[in-house]
Structure 1
Amino acid sequence: MFTRTESFSEYIRFYPMVTIFLFINIVVFLITLLPGIGYIVLDSGMGINYLIADGEWWRFITPMFLHGGFMHILFNMFCLFVFGPELEKLTGKMRFTTLFMLTGIFANVATYFFQDLSYAHLGASGAIFGMFGAFGALVYYTKHAMPQLRQIILPIIVISVIMTFVGPNINVTAHITGLVVGFLIGLSYFNPKRILSWKNR
């Protein structure tokens, strides 16, 4: 179900929005490694609450495409690479894009309201957890009809939530908000006809 067997060209053709998000995140990360300009990009795009309060509203969006280190981007892009295609195939390009962007933005907005003004954050984790939440909605609708999906997704969600609370330097607010918003959006996306079509494929 989540095993990627496509060739590089097939992956790009079948999952264009996942590919675009992967490309943007990887390219931006490589830019942030460059001397001089890398610091400028990070400083201009990080979610820094007191700067958002001063009117720099773009920081609700830009943190989704910035990462603080190799392991940070590796985890997020691995999840997007593996789990994103099935979600894009199921929901379609526009709905997948909407889900990814909205969950990431809501995660950043929640961080602004629930963390203090000095708080700074970055990463696509809110949107990644949004994907997990959407799959959780699919599991909710299918219940026992798709046991393989249930056996894969539920442990991933549980482990991810546990790691959110025990790992260092993790934006708990963004993770949980992304998960909840993704679940709610997933509830609005999925219907029996769409689920049956995806299951038959």
Structure 2
Amino acid sequence: MHSMISIIILFINIFLFLLQNLFPKITWLFILYPPVLLQEPWRIITHMFIHADFSHLFFNMLFLIFFAPALEREVGTMKFLGIYFSSGILGGIAQSLVSSSPSLGASGALYGVFGALAILNPRMKVVIFPLFIPVPISVAVILFAFIDFLMMGSGDAIAHGAHLSGLLAGVFLGFYFSRRRKLAFKDFEYF
């Protein structure tokens, strides 16, 4: 199974970043800004496709390239999209509840991908910077969550609430799809 939708998401993010730089008003049309969210609900989705600067885009897209295709192959395109968008939306809502500041980026969705993959394939090895040694993805997820939890309220302009909420959504959906897969396999055994 190909991971075509992951590649499409990558190109949409890059394309919109280029547009943001050509037409800066796009950022203000797409950014998640809590005071106007009820009047402009599209922002709960569009914020996932715009980024603050090149390094923000680069690291999010690197994360996407490393983990999204693996999850898409694991669960299929439609479930992958469900995890990606549910995590990004929940991350955006949670961040809006803890901060009235504008937020943008794919991090909530990507943390959801990370969390779901850790549940569905916990022995998958990943290399985390600066360790450069392979660790199980489940260990990496716990480490990332711990760091985000510690950094909440630090004023570092990172949406830690979106990260943690997206991660929780992904973990929940990972358990949900894992359980459904086991039930389907169990039913199959009776034939």
Shorter-normalised TM-score: what interval? 0.7 to 0.9
| Identity over aligned pairs, percent | 30
Deviates more, 1:165-174 or 1:101-110: 165-174
1:98, 1:22 → 2: CA distance? 17
Structure 1 residues not aligned, in runs of 5+: 1-12, 196-201
Q: Identify the structure with the greater helix proportion.
A: 1
1:147, 1:171 → 2: CA distance? 26
Q: Is 1:156 matched up with 2:140?
A: yes
Matching residue's letter, 2:18: L
Tell me the alpha carbon deviations over residues 88-143 of structure 1, each in whole angstroms, 9 at most, x when there is no partner. 00100111011101110111111222323xx110000000100111023225xx6x
Matching residue's letter, 2:70: E
Structure 2 residues not aligned, in runs of 5+: 127-133, 186-191
Matching residue's letter, 1:188: Y
Q: Is 1:46 matched up with 2:31?
A: yes
TM-score when normalising by structure 2: 0.81
1:148 Cα shift?
A: 4.6
Counterpart of 2:42 in 1: which secondary structure?
Answer: helix
Is the CA contact 2:32–2:92 (under 8 Å) kept in the aligned structure 1? yes
Aligned ranges 1:12-161 → 2 under 5 Å: 14-34=2-22, 37=23, 39-53=24-38, 55-116=39-100, 119-138=101-120, 146=123, 148=125, 151-161=135-145
Matching residue's letter, 2:119: A
TM-score when normalising by structure 1: 0.77
Matching residue's letter, 1:51: V
1:156, 1:136 → 2: CA distance? 9
